Amino acid sequence: MAEQIQKKPSRIQQRNRRKILDAALDVFSAHGFRGATLDQIAEQAGLSKPNILYYFDGKEEIHVTVLSQLMETWLDPLAGLDPKGDPLTEILTYVQRKLEMSRDLPRESRLFANEILQGAPRMDPHLRADLKPLFDARCAVIQAWMDAGKLAQVDPRHLIFSIWATTQHYADFQAQIDVLLEGQEPTDTAAQFLQTMFRNLLTPGQNSTPA
């Protein structure tokens, strides 16, 4: 008996799935999982609710799909940290990439933050299976650099946490930053400040702090 060949989605089906997932990213990043509704996603996508349910079983499947796609993007800069590269350059490049992601992918950052604030009910398997091994491996790389005297000694775990906190802040608290900076684009000045701060922190024998 010949195996049944799965029919490839048509261009219209692929386009509609992309529209739904992009609309869901808007809605979930603004309202969180609990506050989002299928009606909101359908309206944002310009499709009917029955059309949404043709492609997905419900709100949770859409949410899990968006988060799963996001996870790969979110881990890429940390995965790109090169153990064979110049340590300080690698760390500062990572800081810059995370800051650029906050500028270019603010919806994704807020979606991730909302999920974590809810206790990561749908992301927990990804955090354990994908993030934790990568995090441990990169902490080991950073610790090896420090043990070799190439970076100042700090806790690698909290170094990564501080990079996440200082870069993702510009996306997650964008409304507050817009008020405080009176609408000025913060990326350039933020990059200069963060590069100086982490350079001073990690340069062996340098104890000064950025003004």
Residue 196 to residues 92, 106, 170, 186, 211, Cα–Cα distance (Å): 9, 24, 17, 15, 9
Q: Is the pLDDT of residue 144 over 90?
A: yes
pLDDT category, 202, cuts 50, 70, 90? very high
Query: pTM here?
Result: 0.84
Q: How many CA atoms lie within 13 A of 72 on its CB side?
A: 4
Please indicate, yes or no, if residue 3 is contained in any of the structural domains. no
Same-domain status, 70 and 49: no
**DSSP 8-state assignment for residue 139:** H
Distance CA 138, CA 153 (A): 15
Same-domain status, 142 and 197: yes
Same-domain status, 25 and 96: no
| CATH of residue 40 | 1.10.10.60
Same-domain status, 74 and 26: no
Same-domain status, 52 and 146: no
pLDDT digits (tens, 9 = 90+) for 16-46: 999 999 999 999 988 888 899 999 999 999 9
Same-domain status, 116 and 138: yes
Q: Which range of residues forms the domain containing residue 176?
A: 63-202
Please indicate, yes or no, if residue 1 is contained in any of the structural domains. no
| CATH of residue 148 | 1.10.357.10
Tally of domains in the chain: 2
